[in-house]
Structure 1
Amino acid sequence: MTDTIDDALTVPLTDRGLAYGDGLFETVLVRDGVPALWHEHCERFALGAQRLGIEAPSREWLDALLERAPAGLQVLKIILTRGSGGRGYRPPMPATPRCYWQFIPFTPMPARWESGIEARLCRLKLGRQRALAGIKHLNRLENVMARQEWQDDAIAEGILLNDLDQLVEATAMNLAWHEHGQWWTPALTECGVEGTLRRALVESGQLAVVSAAPLSRLLQARSACLLNSVQGLWPITQCCDPDNQHVLARWQIDEPVRHLQREAHRLLGHATTFSTS
């Protein structure tokens, strides 16, 4: 395992993470050296490494990174690649993985917590691949292409469907909606990233998982939100079509939204004192 500090980063052109997206990454919210959802991040990292067949850093190695955390609110980004070698797509046996890391100062966006955000439906559809579903692998071209669809800063996120027109996630966040007294989130067994905040809320019973949910489930819901382990929970106030010509649905920021937001932000240490509209 090669440990690289990103402040003096030099990535060789032969690195398979650069050449093929052959690797994983994690982004962890760290407050004064204390990581949020650290157990969940480490488990997802280990699972992803196992799926790709890359030797993962030990938990002790990862824990030691936190000792280098600057004061204040930071995001720790960790990138694991298979390293260099092999011939074409054939990976080297054995491989010498590289792990790059960096602490980045982070400022949250409380206006989005309070007032919610506008989203749009993306044209791009996510392909289904069970071998990669759930993990945070480096090949995020689908997400990049989806995010490239709009430049309007008033639209914060894009909603992604799979190639069967089933709900999956947003470009950088997980998706949830409230109907019939329950919060729901799409199953991520065929594509999408299983966010650590999403996992914690599912395991605590705050979110229920549903398979093969059509777009209509979201559009007919009473309220909806996006969430991840860095930004927290953003209520969605409306979603427009891919051409930004028509509003497909509007949602309330109601008490169920605030309840889920309080639970999510408690896990992350973010502020939680917001009113309903």
Structure 2
Amino acid sequence: MSVRIFSGGQRIESIPADDRGLAYGDGIFETMRAHGGELPWWDAHWQRLAHGAQRLGFPAPRQALVREQAQAMLEGGDGVLKLLVTRGSGARGYAPGVATPPTWVLSLHSLPPAPAQGLCLRWCQTRLSLQPALAGLKHCNRLEQVLARAEWNGSTGNPDPADEGLMRSTEGDVVCATAANLFVLQEGRWTTPPVDRCGVAGVCRGWLLAHADVREKRLSVTDVETAQAVFLCNAVRGILPVARLGAARTWPAHPLVAELQARLADAHPGFGRH
């Protein structure tokens, strides 16, 4: 993994111990799929990051500098580029205090392997809290997702070989997977949960809302388990068909999922089929 750390416009060696992202999760991040040294969805990622910084009340770093450093790290290759931005250093206590230069970190990672077949999902016991002030943001407090993911990674002794888990809100509606947005096919039309109370407004989700016949609607467990087809999506892995959900339901490959995958490959070369 290659890493570069900055304070404002100055490159630094390490994240300061008094950084508010480290102390309180006071920051936001983007995870981008690079292809051939380029970031095809850069504009969408930057728009979401800038919106998140504005919502949290701290400045984003200078876009041109971040883009320049990102492309220098990529060196014409493929990979996963993570950009993390925090409020920067601050005194002890929750109050943000005086404005300080944001800390930002670029890290380059290998692409995850593509699944050989449809995903196997499970229901997570950990629920998502309702917090409209943070809804939609990809903020740095991901403890709910960490706890949900730990339910089947071996740390809790659960042998379930699931690929991902579906999360509900504290009110019981289905919101998302731990690291992806959720889409279900109902009566021939795609539906995805809104992210107005919790959840992340994913970049791939945004592309689908703009380029496919998709509606936003709160989903129940029954809505998901009785759907004609289900897929997950995120900006790194694209569209991921779902083959099984616990012991309740299995789905064969669906042509409408394949059609969306083909359209996505046309829009983002990183998701092309090789």
Query: TM above 0.5, one fold?
Result: yes
Q: Does 1:271 align with 2:265?
A: no
Q: Does 1:24 align with 2:31?
A: no
Secondary structure of residue in 1 paired with 2:60 = coil
In structure 2, relative to structure 1, the CA distance for the partners of 1:4 and 1:144 (3 Å cut) is farther
Q: 1:50 corresponds to which residue?
A: 54
Q: 1:91 corresponds to which residue?
A: 96
Q: Is the contact made by 1:206 and 1:260 (CA closer than 8 Å) also made in structure 2?
A: no
Q: Is the contact made by 1:134 and 1:193 (CA closer than 8 Å) also made in structure 2?
A: yes
CA distance in 1, matches of 2:123, 2:265: 26
Q: Is the contact made by 1:37 and 1:267 (CA closer than 8 Å) also made in structure 2?
A: no
How far does residue 235 in structure 1 lie from its aligned partner after superposition? Answer: 0.8
Q: 2:192 corresponds to which residue?
A: 185
Q: Is the contact made by 1:229 and 1:268 (CA closer than 8 Å) also made in structure 2?
A: no
Deviation string, structure 1 residues 112-157 (Cα, Å, up to 9, x no partner): xxx2110100001100111111111000000000000012573110
In structure 2, relative to structure 1, the CA distance for the partners of 1:12 and 1:259 (3 Å cut) is same
Q: Does 1:173 align with 2:180?
A: yes
In structure 2, runs of 5+ residues without a counterpart are 1-6, 154-158
The one-letter code of the counterpart of 2:244 is Q
How far does residue 11 in structure 1 lie from its aligned partner after superposition? Answer: 1.9
Q: Is the contact made by 2:61 and 2:102 (CA closer than 8 Å) also made in structure 1?
A: no
CA distance in 1, matches of 2:82, 2:170: 30
Q: Is the contact made by 1:266 and 1:272 (CA closer than 8 Å) also made in structure 2?
A: no
Deviation string, structure 1 residues 208-264 (Cα, Å, up to 9, x no partner): 211x22111111101101111101111111111xxxxxx122122110111122223
In structure 2, relative to structure 1, the CA distance for the partners of 1:16 and 1:213 (3 Å cut) is same
Match for residue 106 of structure 2 among 101, 119, 128: 101
Quote the RMSD (CA, aligned, Å). Answer: 1.8
Q: Bigger CA drift: 223-232 or 51-60? A: 51-60
How far does residue 178 in structure 1 lie from its aligned partner after superposition? Answer: 0.8
More strand, by proportion: 1
In structure 2, relative to structure 1, the CA distance for the partners of 1:107 and 1:220 (3 Å cut) is closer
Match for residue 217 of structure 1 among 223, 229, 232: 223
Secondary structure of residue in 2 paired with 1:34 = coil
The one-letter code of the counterpart of 2:199 is G
Identity in percent: 35
CA distance in 2, matches of 1:47, 1:232: 23
Q: 1:228 corresponds to which residue?
A: 234
Secondary structure of residue in 1 paired with 2:125 = strand
Q: Is the contact made by 2:166 and 2:177 (CA closer than 8 Å) also made in structure 1?
A: yes
Secondary structure of residue in 1 paired with 2:192 = strand
Match for residue 138 of structure 2 among 136, 142, 158: 136
Deviation string, structure 1 residues 72-119 (Cα, Å, up to 9, x no partner): 2111111101111134001121222111112223243151xxx21101
Match for residue 206 of structure 2 among 191, 196, 199: 199
Q: 1:34 corresponds to which residue?
A: 38
How far does residue 53 in structure 1 lie from its aligned partner after superposition? Answer: 0.5
Secondary structure of residue in 2 paired with 1:262 = helix
Q: Is the contact made by 2:19 and 2:88 (CA closer than 8 Å) also made in structure 1?
A: yes
The one-letter code of the counterpart of 2:103 is R
In structure 1, runs of 5+ residues without a counterpart are 241-246
CA distance in 1, matches of 2:212, 2:265: 16
The one-letter code of the counterpart of 2:219 is A
CA distance in 1, matches of 2:262, 2:190: 14
Q: 1:161 corresponds to which residue?
A: 168
Q: Is the contact made by 1:170 and 1:226 (CA closer than 8 Å) also made in structure 2?
A: yes
